Amino acid sequence: MDKLTLALDLEGVLITNAISQIPRPGLMTFLLECEAMFGGDNLCIFTRVDEASFRRIATRLSDNDRAPSWFPEIRYIDWVGEHKDLRFVDDDIESVIIIDDYPPYIKQSQKHRLIQIKQYIDPYSHEPPDETDNELTLVLKKLKQHFD
């Protein structure tokens, strides 16, 4: 099988959002498993959050042992236009899988490359986010199907 690239959205997928930055339960394990499956060179971030802000968030997560030490250096994809175009990741979109919580951001012709995840949200209240959330574990199972 040709090497696949995994594109990850940030907000609502790996963390709540760029303001609260609460990591999703299981984030460290998820990222380490993705690195083992895809290889570090075949992982990237594809988000609306600008690169400088992403790097700060990723460094904070890594410094707090919520993400691997390599996470702040992961490949960043610049998003241009209304939709996430997987051709920014690789000219061959069939070699890209994207994990995102908001399908309308994905080009219609590329939605077959999407693994949708339920949004991880900060309730904007005094209650913490759902620590029983197991979406990253469910997504890992789907990803492993690509390697079976």
- Which domain CATH number covers 20? 3.40.50.1000
Instruction: Output the pLDDT for position 1.
Output: 38
Average pLDDT over every residue of 117-138: 79
E-strand stretches of the chain: 5-8, 43-46, 75-77, 96-100, 114-116
Q: Does residue 131 register a pLDDT over 60?
A: yes
Percent of the chain with pLDDT over 90: 82
pLDDT band at 145 (very low <50, low <70, confident <90, very high): confident
Percent of the chain with pLDDT over 70: 91
Q: Does residue 29 register a pLDDT over 60?
A: yes
- For residue 106, the tally of other CB atoms under 10 A from its CB is 21
Q: Does residue 129 register a pLDDT over 80?
A: no
Instruction: Output the pLDDT for position 3.
Output: 86
3-state helix, strand, coil in the chain (%, to 5): 40, 15, 45
DSSP code of residue 75: E
d(CA 100, CA 123): 19
Q: Does residue 40 register a pLDDT over 50?
A: yes
Cβ–Cβ < 8 Å for 100, 139: no
Instruction: Output the pLDDT for position 53.
Output: 97
Average pLDDT over every residue of 48-61: 97
d(CA 145, CA 148): 5
Cβ–Cβ < 8 Å for 113, 94: yes
Q: In terms of Cα–Cα distance, which of 25, 23, 31 is closest to 6? A: 31
Q: Does residue 75 register a pLDDT over 50?
A: yes
Q: Which domain holds residue 105?
A: 5-145
User: How many domains is the chain partitioned into structurally?
Assistant: 1
